[in-house]
Amino acid sequence: MQFLMIFFVVLGGAGLSVEAGLLGPLGAEVGELWATFSIFGVGAALTFILMLFFSPRNSPSFFAQPSWTLTGGVLGPIYVVILTIATPAVGIAMTMIGILAGQVAKSLLIDHYGLFGTAHRRIDTKRIVALLFIVAALVLMAQS
């Protein structure tokens, strides 16, 4: 059961790369913004259906939340537009590693300063070492 779950998560990660792989060529054909729109349009339709059937019934309204917690959707398009622009230029693996470097670096900062209401957690050397190896991987990729 555990093993099966891990397998599904690996598949989920592979799905993210396929998404990036589809986006690059699509953006070259119909324009970056249209390609981004196709992701968010279809995504909104799918998650609406999921929300309709699987969301807990009486969860609090969006309007009862502090407005900054609703800004996730503003950041999403930045990421997808970048995927569309970068993958044709440098390839999917390099884009993914760059994304990973940004993620790890930013998550260090978020945890360290306890930004966005997350638990305050000291900078942790293991993650810094991880970040260094990711940067090394980026350099190696750029050379090939």
Q: How many residues in the shown chain lie near other proteins by CB under 8 A?
A: 112
Q: Establish if 9 lies at the interface with other proteins (CB under 8 A).
A: yes
CB of 130 to other proteins, least distance (A): 4
Nearest to 21 by CA among 131, 121, 124, 96: 96
CB of 66 to other proteins, least distance (A): 9
The DSSP secondary structure of 21-87, one letter per residue, reads: HHHHHHHHHH-HHHHHHHHHHHHHHHHHHHHHHHS-TTPPPGGGS-GGGGTHHHHHHHHHHHHHHHH
Q: Establish if 100 lies at the interface with other proteins (CB under 8 A).
A: yes
CB of 121 to other proteins, least distance (A): 6
**CA 137, chain centre distance (Å):** 19
Q: Establish if 103 lies at the interface with other proteins (CB under 8 A).
A: yes
List binders of other proteins among 67-86 (CB under 8 A). 68-80, 82-83, 85-86
Q: Establish if 120 lies at the interface with other proteins (CB under 8 A).
A: no
> Token match 């690059």: residue?
24
Among 112, 113, 116, 120, binds other proteins (CB under 8 A): 116
